[in-house]
Amino acid sequence: MNYIWSKLSLLEFIEQSINQVVSEKDYTFSDLFAWTWIVWRYFKKKWHKVIANDLQYYSYVLNRHYIWNHTDLYFSNLVEEIPGLLTWDVNTYKEIVCNYLENLPEKKWFVYTNYSFWWTKGTEFERMYFSDENAWKCDAIRDKIDERKKDGKINDDEYYFLLCSLLESVDKVANTASVYWAFLKKLKKSAQKSLELTPADLMLNEQDHIIYNEDINTLIKNTKHDVVYLDPPYNHRQYSWNYHILETIAKNDKPKIKGKTWMRDCSEQKSLYCSRDKVKKAYSDLISNIDAKYVFLSYNDEWLMSLEDIKEIMSQRWEYWYFTKKYNRFKADKDENREYKKDYVYEYLHYVKIEK
Ligand SMILES: C[S@@+](CC[C@H](N)C(=O)[O-])C[C@H]1O[C@@H](n2cnc3c(N)ncnc32)[C@H](O)[C@@H]1O
């Protein structure tokens, strides 16, 4: 996924810091502002049970597939429609179904009529989020997935696998600098390529993980945790704005859209963590309600809450301190969302050991 501020390059720092604080070896790792699999998968690979959560539905879809799906997918009810599935090799099924969907006939529907250049050419707001071909391909695949889900030909696991594959594949050919806040005026090279429905990886394992799609402040009142990792938004830009098209494709709800970027109404997914006025109270409520042994927070000194605020809030639950590391910014952040002047930042991992 295109992403401007991923924790990918900080995973070892996060793990080593956690290891210095947490005495238990066999803890559950709760990644409660998860976005995609970047952080939780690292901990899952170290044999921890994982709990993941995010407010965005498209994020839930990705995590529902990557965390939950853990056994082979057979697509047995699609055999009549896709005779290629009559092979014995289960490892090829995912590819065969994706290949079939990738080659469906043209369907000009929601994505095509709202986010491709051809359809919006000459209108007040011309848009070029996708090439024309990729826009109708996305429509054809998305609607077929729903059709097959509705007529019971695919089960939930197959559904989330296909949807996850589509979201990731569409993101690769999106004509944006990184997020969907704006599109580029000319089709960039990767956006000129034809959409290929690449099967999402399937991680076969013993299943024992949980995924939620809730506001964290609500979720935290009803759940118990060991080690909680928090990586909240860090500025005023809502994730629901940044990824509005992925959310629309994931939900396939053909929403009313408006504005220059033709965005869905995101008011229900407005995060308090993106508001300078509200973030401190939201974080304070979260920390006071959390039922966990340890809480770790990635947050640095340029973001909405001050280090003093964080210290004040976290130390109420007992032993507070932090780790820090110099970190070079991502290139895309420079190109598009240039809010910060320095090329590096000191990344902080704050923590509190919660009093028993
Ligand atoms: C900084 S990102 C997480 C990035 C991730 N750790 C990584 O490295 O890729 C923050 C995430 O928090 C989610 N989020 C924002 N407000 C939320 C809330 N109130 N409850 C749950 N998730 C929220 C956003 O949708 C976004 O995916």
The residue whose CA has the least distance to atom 24 of ligand 1 is 239
What is the 8-class DSSP label of residue 84? G
Judge whether 2 and 179 are in contact, CB under 8 Å: yes
Average pLDDT over residues 219-239: 94
pLDDT of residue 122: 81
**Is residue 11 in a domain?**
no
The residue whose CA has the least distance to atom 19 of ligand 1 is 215
Pocket-forming residues, ligand 1, beta carbon under 6 Å: 3, 6-7, 33, 35-36, 38-39, 53-56, 59, 215-216, 231-233, 239, 271, 273
pLDDT of residue 335: 46
Q: Which of 280, 334, 336 shows the shortest CA–CA distance to 304?
A: 280
Residue 287: is its pLDDT beyond 60?
Answer: yes
pTM of the model: 0.93
**Is residue 42 in a domain?**
yes
Q: Which residue in the block uniquely carries the two structure tokens 């049970």?
A: 49
pLDDT per residue over 208-224, tens digit each? 899 999 999 999 999 99
Average pLDDT over residues 186-214: 92
How many domains is the chain built from?
Answer: 1
Cα of 37 to ligand 1 centre, how many Å?
A: 12
Cα of 192 to ligand 1 centre, how many Å?
A: 30
pLDDT per residue over 24-56, tens digit each? 999 999 999 999 889 999 999 888 999 999 999
Mutate to test the pocket of ligand 1, among 13, 271, 272 (most ligand atoms within 8 A of CB): 271
**Is residue 76 in a domain?**
yes
Cα of 31 to ligand 1 centre, how many Å?
A: 9
**Is residue 347 in a domain?**
no
Question: What are the counts of helices (DSSP H) followed by strands (DSSP E) for the chain?
Answer: 15, 9
Residue 99 in 3-state DSSP? Answer: helix
Cα of 176 to ligand 1 centre, how many Å?
A: 20
- Percent pLDDT > 70 in the chain is 95
Residue 309: is its pLDDT beyond 90?
Answer: yes
Confidence of residue 125 (pLDDT cuts 50, 70, 90): confident
pLDDT of residue 4: 57
Using the atom order of ligand 1, give the atom closest to the CA of residue 229. 6
d(CA 155, CA 6): 32
**Is residue 336 in a domain?**
no
**Is residue 328 in a domain?**
no
Domain limits for position 153 = 19-231+239-290
Question: Among 120-124, 163-167, 176-180, 269-273, where is mean pLDDT lowest?
Answer: 120-124
Residue 183: is its pLDDT beyond 50?
Answer: yes
Using the atom order of ligand 1, give the atom closest to the CA of residue 243. 25
Mutate to test the pocket of ligand 1, among 54, 59, 213, 349 (most ligand atoms within 8 A of CB): 54
Cα of 136 to ligand 1 centre, how many Å?
A: 30
Average pLDDT over residues 14-20: 97
Cα of 54 to ligand 1 centre, how many Å?
A: 6
**Is residue 303 in a domain?**
no
**Averaged pLDDT score across all residues of the chain:** 92
| Cα→Cα distances 195→133, 141, 250, 335, Å | 8, 11, 17, 25
**Is residue 162 in a domain?**
yes
Residue 266: is its pLDDT beyond 70?
Answer: yes
Cα of 350 to ligand 1 centre, how many Å?
A: 17
